[in-house]
Chain A
Amino acid sequence: MKTLLTVVAFALAATGASAAPVLIGHKTVASEKLDAATLKAVFLGKKVAWDGAGRVVLAVLKGGPVADEFLQKTVEMNASTFNNHWRRLAMTGGGSAPKTFEKEDDLRKFVAETPGAVGFLDAAAADASVATLPLP
C-alpha cells in the first residue's frame, strides 16, 4: 500500500508539475531596480537601456512551458502573442529583437557573457555564472 501511495503521489507530482521560471541577468544588471512595470517595459522593448548597466539585451527561450509561464506573468502574453509583438517591432523599425535560444544552457551562457543581458529559464538551470534577479 505504501508503495502504491508513493507511486500515485509521484505520478500526481509529475503530471501536475509546473514550470518554475526565474529571471536572470548579467552580473552588471544585478543592482538594477526591477519592479513589475519596469520588467514589462524591458521585455516589450519600451525600456532599451538600464539605469547603470548600458543597453538592455534580451534573451528568451523559443518556447515551452517556462517561456509561456514567464511571459504570461511579466507581459501578460502567451509566446505566440509575444512573438508577434516583437516581429512587428523588429520588422517595422520599432526595436531590436531579443536573442532567442532553444536550450537553457545556451541562454544562461549568453547572459553570463553579455553585459546588460537579461533573460529567463527554469530555476533548476540557473547557476552562479549569472545574477538571479527577484521576480516582482
Chain B
Amino acid sequence: MKRIRFLSLALVAFLAGHGLPAARAVVTVGARDNIQLGGFFSQGYLYSSDNNFPTASKGGTWDFREMAVNVSTTLGSRVRVGGQVFAQTFGNLGDDKVILDWAVVDYNVAPALGFRAGRVKYPKGVYSEALDLDVVRPFVFLPGAVYSPVLRDFSASFDGAMVYGTLAAGAAGSVDYKAFRGDIPISPRKGVAEFYTNSGLYTAAGPAKLGMDSVTGAQLVWNTPVAGLKAAGAYSVFRNLSTDGPFAAAPVLRLPSNMDKFEWRTVSAEYTRGSWQFAAEWQRAYSDTLTYSAPPALPLVKDDSGWDGWYVSAARRLSDRFEVGAYYGNLKDRSTTLPGDNPRTYQHDTAISLRFDLNEHVLFKLEGHRIEGRYQTFNTPRIPNPAGAIRDTNHVIAAKTTLSF
C-alpha cells in the first residue's frame, strides 16, 4: 500500500513538474490511428472528524485511490469494441484489486438505434455511468444521497445487453433512450455487503453469499429545446437479490434473505449555462418484498428496505484552472419505524469543493463536508463505528489529485 502511494505521488509530481500546457484540451484521451488509449490515476487523502464515514477514514487515511486504463477501437464503420480495467482502494474496501469495469461490443445502426453488449456501464441517473471520472466535475464525491461511494461496485456496470439511441422530437428537442437487461456480479467482498452486515442479522463477518438473478431497466434523457437543459428519468429493478450467511443470534444457523424486487427510481435535471452547471436528482431505492428466516430460531419475516435521496448542486468554472462547486444532499431511511427526527434515520450532507487544473492532465481537488445524522454510517468490521463512539454530526475533508490521459 505504502509503495503504491509513493509511486502514485511521485508520478503525479513528475508530470506536474513538466509544465504541460494549460487545461484547454477538448479531449484528453490519447488516440493513435484507430486505437484509443485512455485512463486515470488518482490518489487522495480522506479525513473524517468523528465517525468512520464514508469509509474507514476517522483521523485520516491515504487509502483512497482509483486507477483505470481503457482501450478501444472501431471495426468497419459501425462496430466498436473496447474495455477498461479499474482498481480502487476506499478505506478497507477495494484493496487495489483489478476488476473489469466495462468491456463492450457496440453496433451503432443509426443515431436512433444501437446495440451494446458485454459488461456495460449502468445508467441510473445522469452521472452514474461517469462515477469514477474526476475530470468531468469539481467534486471529489458525487452527492452520496444518490451516488453512495460504498455502493460504487454495485452501481458501476452490469453484464448483459443494451439497446440505445436518440429520437428526434421536433421542436421539443430530442430524447436519448437506453433499455437494458443483465445481471450484476456481486460478492461479499464488495461494498454492498456493508448494508447487510450493518443490519445486525449476520455475524460480524457478514453474509457469506450475495447474488441476484437479473437487472432490467431503462433511462430516458430529454434534451429540451432550452440550450443546456436536460431532464431524465431512470428505472431499474433487481430480481431475487439474495444473501445467505450465519445468523448473528445463533451462528450455527443459516439466514437466507431475498428481495423478489429491489427497485431504483431516479429523476434528474441538469442545466448548463456558460460557466455554470446546476443539477438536481431524486432517487428512491426500495423493496417491499424482503423476506428472511433462520429456522427454527427465526420464522419467516416479511419486511421492507430502502431509502429516498435527493440533492441539488451548483458548479462554476472560474477560469481555465479553477472550478468551484457545492451541493446539499438529503438521504432518508424509508423502511425505519423510528421517528423522523432520529439521527439514525437521516443523513444531511452539505459540501463545498474547489478544483485546480494544473494542466490538461493533472488536477487537484479539495472538498469539505458537514454531515448531520448517521443514516448509512455503518458499524462493520471494515467500517467500524462502535455504538458508544458514533456521533450525530461528522465533518469530512477530502483532498485528491488525479492524472488522466
For B297-326 the 0/1 string (1 means CB < 8 A from A) is 000000000000000000001000000000
Cβ–Cβ contact A90 & B27, under 8 A: yes
B291 beta carbon closer than 8 Å to chain A: no
Residues of B with C-beta under 8 A to A41: 111, 166
CB contacts under 8 Å to B, within A70-100, are 76-84, 86-88, 90-100
Using C-beta atoms within 8 Å of the partner chain, give the interface range for chain B.
35 or more
| Shortest distance between the CB of A28 and any CB in chain B (Å) | 12
Cβ–Cβ contact A91 & B133, under 8 A: yes
Using C-beta atoms within 8 Å of the partner chain, give the interface range for chain A.
35 or more
Q: Residue on A with the closest CB to B110?
A: A47
| Shortest distance between the CB of A20 and any CB in chain B (Å) | 19
Q: How far is the CA of A96 from the CA of B31 in the complex (A)?
A: 9
A54 beta carbon closer than 8 Å to chain B: yes
Cβ–Cβ contact B80 & A95, under 8 A: yes
Q: How far is the CA of A64 from the CA of B26 in the complex (A)?
A: 10
Within the complex, which residue of A64, A67, A82, A99 is in contact with B31, where a contact is CB–CB below 8 Å?
Answer: A99
Residues of A with C-beta under 8 A to B130: 88, 91-92
Q: A91 with B111: in contact, given A55-B76, A76-B227 (CB under 8 Å)?
A: no
Q: How far is the CA of A81 from the CA of B227 in the complex (A)?
A: 12
CB contacts under 8 Å to B, within A24-40, are 37
Q: A90 with B129: in contact, given A47-B111, A78-B274, A96-B36 (CB under 8 Å)?
A: no
Q: How far is the CA of A86 from the CA of B70 in the complex (A)?
A: 14
Residues of B with C-beta under 8 A to A62: 24-26
B189 beta carbon closer than 8 Å to chain A: no
B28 beta carbon closer than 8 Å to chain A: yes
Residues of B with C-beta under 8 A to A100: 25-27
Cβ–Cβ contact B77 & A55, under 8 A: yes
Q: Residue on B with the closest CB to A64?
A: B24
Cβ–Cβ contact A97 & B166, under 8 A: no
| Shortest distance between the CB of B239 and any CB in chain A (Å) | 24
Q: Residue on A with the closest CB to B131?
A: A92
Cβ–Cβ contact B121 & A86, under 8 A: no
Within the complex, which residue of A46, A63, A81, A96 is in contact with B272, where a contact is CB–CB below 8 Å?
Answer: A81
A49 beta carbon closer than 8 Å to chain B: yes
CB contacts under 8 Å to A, within B35-51, are 36, 38, 40
Could you say which of B1-9, B101-109, B145-153, B363-371 contacts chain A? B101-109
Q: Residue on A with the closest CB to B127?
A: A88
A-B contact pairs, 13 of them (CB 8 A): A48-B74, A50-B77, A64-B24, A76-B228, A77-B272, A83-B25, A86-B27, A87-B133, A87-B404, A91-B84, A94-B121, A97-B27, A97-B36
Closest 10 CB pairs of A and B: A63-B24, A49-B77, A97-B29, A84-B136, A55-B77, A76-B227, A46-B111, A93-B102, A93-B104, A90-B29
Binding site for B on A (CB under 8 A): 37, 41, 46-50, 54-55, 60-64, 67, 76-84, 86-88, 90-100, 116
